[in-house]
Amino acid sequence: MDMIQLEQCINEYGKEIYSFCSQITRNRQEAEDLYQDTFLKALELGEKIDYRRNPKSYFVSIALRIWKNRKRKFAWRKRIAGTVELVEEAVSEESGKEGSAEDIVLEKEWKEEVKKAVDRLDEKYRIPVYLFYTLEFSIGQIGKIMKLPEGTVKSRLHKARKLLKQELEVVLDET
């Protein structure tokens, strides 16, 4: 992959990759760093990326690997010397749909509840849910990205749906 192809990939998949970075980091600054590091690593790997195949999947895989390595390093450093973690709310994108004001408000509230419920999931469930429903990767692609068997991905998605259903039923009962 040369610079022109990388630039085309950034233009084509940049928003989705940034969105993925925001989702897994839950912090704007870390998401921006991860996004930049992902494409720097892609530039470094250069010819190993086949532009004709699925580069979006490859970029997501790179971002996930970098994030896991950072978490591992952070955990190790935290054991050595404790630090204070700054938490910043992830960036959310609003859709411009038309409808009655009440419908728009209700839909926005429902989306926010779903997003909060997904954010509360353990990372091993949250990432496959995000990859499947937001980035629309197949079970096989998610398995390759996360280096898991397809059965494990299916199992995690099933468990995540079950947990989300339980949590969102409680929210619906309260309203």
Distances (CA, A) of 102 to 14, 96, 146, 163, 174: 33, 15, 40, 28, 19
pLDDT in tens, 17-58: 999 999 888 889 999 999 999 998 888 887 776 667 788 888
CATH number for the domain harbouring residue 51: 1.10.1740
- Is the pLDDT at 9 greater than 50? The verdict is yes
pLDDT in tens, 55-75: 888 889 899 999 998 888 877
Same domain (yes/no): 162, 105: yes
Same domain (yes/no): 120, 61: no
pLDDT of residue 88: 37
pLDDT of residue 101: 78
Same domain (yes/no): 112, 123: yes
CATH number for the domain harbouring residue 105: 1.10.10.10
Same domain (yes/no): 8, 61: yes
The residue among 43, 70, 93 that closes a domain is 93
pLDDT in tens, 83-110: 444 343 333 344 444 567 777 877 888 8
pTM: 0.62
Same domain (yes/no): 43, 116: no
CA-CA-CA-CA dihedral for 8, 142, 113, 96, to nearest 10:
30
pLDDT of residue 174: 64
**Residue numbers of the domain that contains 54:** 1-93
Same domain (yes/no): 13, 56: yes
Cβ-based neighbours of 150, under 8 Å, separated by 6 or more:
139, 140, 143
Distances (CA, A) of 37 to 8, 41, 169: 17, 6, 39
- Is the pLDDT at 162 greater than 60? The verdict is yes
Same domain (yes/no): 163, 134: yes
The more confidently predicted of residues 47 and 135 is 135
User: Looking at the 3D structure of the chain, how many domains does it have?
Assistant: 2
Same domain (yes/no): 4, 54: yes
The residue among 93, 108, 131 that closes a domain is 93
- Is the pLDDT at 112 greater than 70? The verdict is yes
The residue among 77, 93, 109 that closes a domain is 93
Query: Are 57 and 144 within 8 A, CB to CB?
Result: yes
Structure tokens at 156: 């995690």
- How far apart are alpha carbons 136 and 103 in whole angstroms? 26
